[in-house]
Amino acid sequence: MTLTHRPVLLAEAVNSVLGEMTSSEQQSITIIDGTFGRGGHSREILKHLNSQSKLIAFDKDLQAIAEAKTIQDPRFQIIHESFASMAEEVPINSIDGVLLDLGISSPQIDDPSRGFSFRGDGPLDMRMDTTRGQSAAEWLAVAEQKDIARVIKEYGEERFALQIAKAIIARREQGDSLTRTGELASLVAGVVRTREAGQDPATRTFQAIRIYINQELADLESGLSAAFQCLKPGGLLAVISFHSLEDRIVKQFMQGLSKVSVPRGLPLTENQMPKPLAELLGRIKPSQQEVHENPRARSAILRVMRKIKSTSMGASS
């Protein structure tokens, strides 16, 4: 089975992370693609880099790493780690641009053996890196009801979270733990009686468990701070998010760096006023044509900012 992935906001993301830096310029630049996926953004970025420049990519997924190793280009390097660790892999204040394309890729969703989707039956795994951590099935086999309910409510924004958690525990107490995606989807469908038109009852639950198993929001918070550390002054950070939990973190992070807080009434001249650490450059959504051609793009939001000055802030926020 051949699984393909169409990058969302491809031209917009690449243009945003490169800015005015093109292959026609003589300077050497270094770009990070923090979420290689199946390499759509990386391959496009490489088209715009000159021979002295470099692209460093990160990914936790072994299938993504295997795909990255097919790129035979001396300017390209792949690292099998989360983008949250980039400050441990590259020097601080050394990178010209960082791109993060959050969430999961189409091949991960479409491959039943990965356990990410309720659309096809497969092992209830959900790990992006199958060499580390608990699978979704292993976690659901031991987690307490209150923890399952909290995860589904907080990360899935599911109003039936408690009822779903109770059903999971009741099944487990009967000696029948969930091991397949089809089993979990069926259980959720039996509990969630109402849902938005066109949305499967299991959508929010699968999203929530996947986010928890892969610690996606914690990685995002750490990764944004790491990316900002790694950027040179003038460097660009471009982030594509696909749901409100991710976008809220990205938005608040960027807005926080673009503002300064001064005690009210403090007598400062204009030259004495502290300067923000970053400048917001915009928010971009897919065109109607892109959404028509690729429905998975419909919820995507690209946010871009420029680092103004160096900082010694920690690797995690």
Residues contacting 197, CB < 8 A, separation 6+: none
CA–CA gap between residue 20 and residue 284 (Å, rounded): 18
Tell me, yes or no, whether 200 and 161 share the same domain.
yes
Return the pLDDT at 101: 96
Return the pLDDT at 196: 72
Tell me, yes or no, whether 142 and 206 share the same domain.
yes
Q: Which of 196, 213, 230 is the last residue of a domain?
A: 213
Q: Above 60 in pLDDT, residue 3?
A: no
pLDDT band at 27 (very low <50, low <70, confident <90, very high): confident
Tell me, yes or no, whether 90 and 231 share the same domain.
yes
Tell me, yes or no, whether 18 and 164 share the same domain.
no
183 belongs to a structural domain = yes
Return the pLDDT at 11: 94
When pLDDT is averaged across residues 9-38 and rounded to a whole number, the result is 86
Tell me, yes or no, whether 88 and 149 share the same domain.
no
Q: Above 50 in pLDDT, residue 317?
A: no
pLDDT band at 108 (very low <50, low <70, confident <90, very high): confident
Q: Above 90 in pLDDT, residue 316?
A: no
Tally of domains within the chain: 2
Judge residue 163's burial from the number of C-beta atoms within 10 Å of its C-beta, 0-12 exposed, 13-18 middle, 19 or more buried.
middle
Q: Above 80 in pLDDT, residue 70?
A: yes
What pTM was estimated for this model as a whole?
0.90
Q: Which residue has the higher pLDDT, 187 or 310?
A: 187
Tell me, yes or no, whether 228 and 79 share the same domain.
yes
Tell me, yes or no, whether 199 and 263 share the same domain.
no
Tell me, yes or no, whether 102 and 18 share the same domain.
yes
313 belongs to a structural domain = no
CA–CA gap between residue 138 and residue 147 (Å, rounded): 14
pLDDT band at 4 (very low <50, low <70, confident <90, very high): low
Place of tokens 């960027």: 254
Tell me, yes or no, whether 45 and 173 share the same domain.
no
230-264: per-residue pLDDT in tens? Answer: 999 999 999 999 999 999 999 999 999 998 766 66
Q: Which of 213, 232, 261 is the last residue of a domain?
A: 213
CA–CA gap between residue 195 and residue 191 (Å, rounded): 11
Return the pLDDT at 240: 98
Residues contacting 106, CB < 8 A, separation 6+: 3, 4, 5, 6, 38, 296
Return the pLDDT at 266: 65
Q: Which of 213, 241, 265 is the last residue of a domain?
A: 213
Average pLDDT of the chain is 90
CA–CA gap between residue 219 and residue 316 (Å, rounded): 9
Tell me, yes or no, whether 279 and 303 share the same domain.
yes
114 belongs to a structural domain = no
The amino acid sitting at 278 is A
Identify the domain containing residue 99 by its residue range: 10-106+216-307
26 belongs to a structural domain = yes
Output the DSSP codes for 53-96. -EEEEE-S-HHHHHHHTT---TTEEEESS-GGGHHHHS-TT-EE
Return the pLDDT at 2: 44
Return the pLDDT at 25: 54
When pLDDT is averaged across residues 154-171 and rounded to a whole number, the result is 97
Tell me, yes or no, whether 97 and 21 share the same domain.
yes
CATH number reported for the structural domain that contains residue 184 in this entry: 1.10.150.170
pLDDT band at 273 (very low <50, low <70, confident <90, very high): low
Return the pLDDT at 116: 94
pLDDT band at 315 (very low <50, low <70, confident <90, very high): very low
69 belongs to a structural domain = yes
18 belongs to a structural domain = yes
112 belongs to a structural domain = no
312 belongs to a structural domain = no
CATH number reported for the structural domain that contains residue 84 in this entry: 3.40.50.150
Tell me, yes or no, whether 21 and 150 share the same domain.
no
Residues contacting 145, CB < 8 A, separation 6+: 165, 166, 168, 169
